């Protein structure tokens, strides 16, 4: 078993063993829907990471509009590293404001696998494109991005849990 696979297995074992309140609070950091976090917590133990991720996807697809709104309310807009040029910060702030004005919620995007130096370009391009969407199309795309973010954050949670000496306090993972 590779070190990475061992960390996932060990972290998953911890997540499976945590008290309900700790597991649910930690999963809420992955997706801000209480219904989603409760469902994933209630279906423990998970035999492997793939099963947990499949359960996350299934729970994500089953979210009602109110659950998605709750999850979006827990998100914050993706931001830049403090070293980024001031013009990039201003452009991103303006783009987020335009998006939130049009759709009534924060812009979310999963940037997994993308080097941080490309984040601003990717986010700005995605906001420009998504501003042209009809609200129903954007709602569907936003829900998909939320599912992708939840998957990424679960992987981080399980990896972090495997490396920790005991149950970690719930913390935010990913671009929150």
Print burial letters for 23-54: b (CB count within 10 Å at least 16), e (below 16).
bbbbbbbbbbbebbbbbbbeebebeebeebbe
142 neighbors 68 (Cβ within 8 angstroms): yes
pLDDT of residue 175: 45
- The Cα 74–Cα 7 span in angstroms is 28
The predicted pLDDT at position 84 comes to: 77
Neighbours of 16 (CB within 10 A): 14
pTM of the predicted protein model: 0.82
Digits of tens for pLDDT over the chain (176 positions)?
Answer: 544 444 456 889 999 999 999 999 999 999 999 999 999 999 999 999 999 999 999 999 999 999 999 999 999 877 777 777 888 889 989 999 999 999 999 999 998 887 777 778 888 999 999 999 999 999 999 999 999 999 999 999 998 765 544 444 433 333 44
Residue linked to tokens 């994500």: 60
Helix (H, G, I), strand (E, B) or coil at 166: coil
Query: Which tens digit of pLDDT belongs to each residue from 13-49?
Result: 999 999 999 999 999 999 999 999 999 999 999 999 9
Contact present, 175 and 111 (Cβ < 8 Å): yes
Quick one: pLDDT at residue 7?
Answer: 47
| DSSP for residue 164 | S
Helix then strand then coil, % of the chain, to nearest 5: 65, 0, 35
């Amino acid at each position: 078993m590779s070190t990475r696979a061992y960390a996932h297995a060990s972290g998953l074992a911890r997540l499976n063993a945590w008290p309900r309140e700790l597991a649910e609070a930690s999963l809420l950091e992955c997706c801000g829907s209480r219904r989603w976090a409760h469902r994933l917590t209630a279906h423990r133990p998970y035999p492997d990471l793939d099963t947990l991720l499949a359960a996350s996807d299934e729970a994500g697809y089953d979210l009602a509009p109110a659950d998605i709104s709750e999850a979006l309310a827990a998100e914050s807009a993706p931001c830049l590293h403090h070293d980024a040029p001031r013009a990039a910060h201003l452009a991103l702030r303006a783009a987020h404001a335009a998006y939130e004005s049009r759709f009534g919620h924060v812009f979310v995007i999963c940037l997994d696998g993308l080097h941080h130096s490309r984040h601003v370009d990717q986010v700005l391009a995605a906001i420009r494109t998504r501003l042209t969407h009809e609200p129903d199309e954007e709602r569907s795309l936003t829900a998909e991005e939320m599912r992708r973010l939840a998957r990424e954050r679960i992987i981080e949670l399980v990896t972090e849990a495997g490396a920790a000496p005991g149950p970690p306090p719930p913390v935010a993972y990913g671009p929150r």
